């Protein structure tokens, strides 16, 4: 801040000079003292000058609405919304989100550091303040082929960038607990830079948890029980209460929030699709849930503001107080948390659910053209089994966890799988798409429900190779070819015809269109998946399929290298 701006701020704060903007007649939520203050908010050069009685060159009459600090989402993957950074801003700002802590894990797995570069440049075209964490686990596992390998040397430079807060969720907790040099070198990069380290440690307790936290883990968003939450808080770890499109932990964990531990609790989305945002909202919806679960409204707001600011060392925001950014949300009440107006740096950027600024998009050419598939053919989809007794990937209802099962299938004279509608078993394949390696694997999936055609995606966690499921080699081959042609995304095929598709030219995992378009496309994809392909309505056709390739979620998955038994941590034969 220049000295002349500082002097002006003092003049406005003292009441000797008019503010640039005054929000009059507010009920100001004081997150420091947990009380409500009646008064005006004076803003000068985008900074809060004071709360009290002020006059300004411009005024907004709040008419008694509640004024809360701008909401901070403490952990989110933008890519999981299938939109660009500019478009996530358009979706979140009208719901009061003014800052997000983003982990670009998905695009960096595809494009390496140039994926981070794109995200950071594109973020300049939205008023949403997007802070980034450097992905810590690229590739996520050694059992699949990703588009990049990001080691400690590649992290060393980017972690020093102004808008990078630290090292993203360290999913390889066994690497830390066992003191692996490769993982500890990344930890040391964060420590030398005095940057934050995000955690990710589901199901870890006792001395293993002590070992994990001892390296400086700041937070964890993977708690699913109150016991886990309390265990981490007692070790000084902030707990991020998650409410996304796929994972819903907030209601369960909210029951464990108390007066004594609430200041160590934050709110996050992790993954939140346009449909969820457009229908339910963002952190405004989280706050509503918190109050429904019995948490005091101001305590709930603290979890979405000052707690997150303190966790991530964001000293310029998180409250409405002199010297902080003018990020302010006007709310109709503290029960439903309906957002009326949103200000970022003292400028109104949303009103009555509408995003005000004009949106310009950053050039996506650096992250286009990510389909590098070699030697794929319909012939490679054929199985040559000697036995009809096979290991199956069984989809379990309501999530992405699978069960390892053994079943009998029909085979043709060459030993290839023959689809039988009565058995609900389909062929699934993962095809490497980053480095023209020609690697691919084929397995069998039960419980998806597909009765006709094929579904192909280039969103396949965490390495985002191509994944396709179908009832015939012909339709599966056709779907993959069309997916490559459209530069990734989603393709639904029936009788060798595309019945619906959504291109994702940004690294094959994000659309270059707006959130409303993406939402309409996803709705159409779901409808046709259920109505024309016969997929079970209890199965989310896209999200379920894209997690069938993640070899860290039990019990059995498929990568481009083969069928993987997660419980044994090894590849297994398709024949049982």
For the structural domain made of 3-64, what CATH number should be given? Answer: 2.30.40.10
With tokens 């970022």, the residue in question is 344
Lookup: tokens for 555: 């019990």
d(CA 391, CA 445): 9
DSSP secondary-structure letter at 493? Answer: E
Q: In terms of Cα–Cα distance, which of 197, 228, 229 is closest to 214? A: 197
- Specify the pTM: 0.95
> What kind and span of H or E run contains 477?
helix 473-485
d(CA 180, CA 546): 30
d(CA 197, CA 212): 11
d(CA 504, CA 207): 44
> What kind and span of H or E run contains 5?
helix 3-13
Tell me the backbone φ, ψ of residue 311, rounded to 5 degrees: -60, -40
Largest pairwise CA distance in the chain: 91
pLDDT of residue 108: 98
Lookup: tokens for 479: 């779907």
pLDDT of residue 401: 85
Give the start-end residues of each E strand in 200-327.
217-220, 238-242, 265-268
H helical segments located in 123-249: 152-156, 173-177, 181-192, 206-213, 226-233
Cα separations (Å) of 562 from 32, 98, 141, 389, 444? 54, 43, 14, 17, 11
CA 444 to chain CA centroid, Å, is 28
Q: Which residues pair with 506 in a beta bridge?
A: 510
Pairing type for strands 466-470 and 454-457 reads antiparallel
Cβ-proximal residues to 106 (8 Å cutoff; 6+ apart), any chain: 77, 79, 80, 461, 462, 464, 507, 509
Give the CA radius of gyration of the chain: 25
Structural fold of domain 68-353: TIM Barrel (3.20.20)
Q: In terms of Cα–Cα distance, which of 35, 12, 121 is closest to 365? A: 121
d(CA 24, CA 379): 71
Give the start-end residues of each E strand in 269-358.
328-331, 339-344, 347-351, 354-355
Domain boundaries along the sequence of the chain: 3-64, 68-353, 368-572
| Mean pLDDT, 10 residues at a time, the chain of 576 residues | 94 97 98 97 98 97 97 97 98 98 97 98 98 95 94 97 97 93 98 97 94 98 95 98 92 97 98 95 98 98 98 98 98 98 98 96 96 96 97 88 95 97 95 97 97 98 96 98 97 97 98 97 97 94 93 92 94 96
Lookup: tokens for 362: 């950053």
Q: Contact, 47 vs 10, CB < 8 A?
A: no
pLDDT of residue 170: 96
Pairing type for strands 466-470 and 440-446 reads unpaired
Lookup: tokens for 509: 């995992």
Cα separations (Å) of 188 from 180, 255, 263? 12, 36, 28
> What kind and span of H or E run contains 417?
strand 417-418
Q: Contact, 490 vs 542, CB < 8 A?
A: yes
Cβ-proximal residues to 63 (8 Å cutoff; 6+ apart), any chain: 25
Q: In terms of Cα–Cα distance, which of 531, 538, 381 is closest to 466? A: 381
d(CA 102, CA 130): 7
């Amino acid at each position: 801040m220049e000295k002349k701006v500082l002097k002006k701020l003092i003049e406005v704060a003292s009441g000797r000079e008019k503010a640039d903007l005054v929000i009059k007649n507010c009920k100001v939520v004081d997150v420091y003292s947990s009380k409500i203050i009646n008064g005006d908010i004076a803003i000068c050069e985008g900074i809060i000058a004071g709360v009290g009685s002020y006059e300004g060159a411009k005024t907004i009459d709040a008419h008694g609405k509640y004024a809360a600090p701008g909401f901070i989402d403490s952990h989110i993957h933008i890519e999981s919304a299938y939109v660009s950074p500019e478009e996530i801003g358009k979706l979140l700002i009208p719901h009061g989100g003014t800052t997000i802590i983003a982990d670009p894990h998905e695009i960096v797995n595809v494009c390496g550091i140039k994926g981070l570069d794109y995200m950071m440049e594109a973020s300049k075209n939205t008023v949403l303040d997007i802070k980034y964490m450097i992905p810590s686990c690229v590739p996520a596992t050694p059992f699949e082929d990703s588009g990049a390998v990001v080691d400690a040397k590649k992290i060393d430079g980017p972690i020093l960038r102004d808008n990078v807060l630290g090292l993203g969720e360290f999913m390889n907790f066994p690497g830390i607990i066992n003191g692996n040099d490769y993982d500890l070198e990344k930890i040391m990069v964060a420590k030398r830079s005095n940057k934050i380290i995000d955690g990710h440690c589901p199901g870890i307790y006792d001395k293993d948890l002590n070992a994990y936290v001892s390296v400086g883990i700041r937070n964890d968003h993977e708690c699913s029980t109150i016991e886990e939450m309390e265990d981490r808080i007692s070790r000084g770890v902030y707990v991020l209460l998650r409410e996304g499109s796929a994972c819903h932990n907030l209601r369960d964990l909210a029951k464990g929030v108390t007066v004594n531990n609430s200041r160590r609790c934050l709110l996050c989305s992790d993954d939140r699709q346009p449909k969820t945002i457009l229908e339910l909202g963002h952190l405004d919806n989280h706050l509503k849930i918190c109050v429904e679960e019995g948490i005091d409204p101001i305590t709930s707001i603290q979890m979405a503001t000052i707690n997150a600011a303190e966790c991530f060392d964001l000293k310029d925001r998180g409250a409405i107080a002199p010297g902080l950014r003018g990020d302010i949300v006007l709310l109709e009440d503290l029960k439903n948390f309906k957002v009326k107006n949103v200000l970022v740096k003292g400028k109104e950027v949303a009103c009555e659910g509408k995003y005000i600024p004009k949106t310009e998009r950053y050039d996506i050419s650096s992250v286009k053209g990510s389909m590098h598939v070699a030697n794929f053919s319909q012939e490679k989809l054929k199985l040559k089994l000697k036995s009809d007794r096979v290991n199956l990937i069984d989809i379990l209802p309501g999530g992405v966890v699978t069960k390892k099962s053994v079943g009998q299938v029909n085979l043709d004279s060459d030993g290839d799988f023959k689809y039988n509608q009565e058995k609900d078993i389909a062929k699934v394949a993962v095809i490497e798409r980053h480095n023209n390696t020609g690697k691919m694997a084929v397995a069998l999936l039960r419980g998806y429900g597909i009765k006709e055609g094929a579904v192909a995606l280039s969103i396949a966690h965490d390495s985002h190779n191509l994944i396709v499921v179908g009832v015939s080699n012909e339709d599966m081959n056709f779907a993959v070819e069309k997916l490559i042609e459209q530069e990734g995304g989603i393709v639904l095929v029936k009788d060798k015809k595309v019945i619906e598709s959504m291109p994702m030219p940004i690294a094959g995992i994000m659309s270059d269109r707006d959130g409303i378009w993406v939402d309409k496309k996803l709705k159409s994809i779901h409808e046709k998946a259920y109505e024309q392909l016969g997929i079970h309505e209890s199965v989310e056709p896209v999200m379920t399929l894209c997690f069938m390739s993640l070899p860290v979620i039990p019990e059995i998955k498929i990568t481009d290298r083969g069928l993987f038994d997660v419980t044994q941590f090894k590849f297994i034969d398709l024949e049982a």
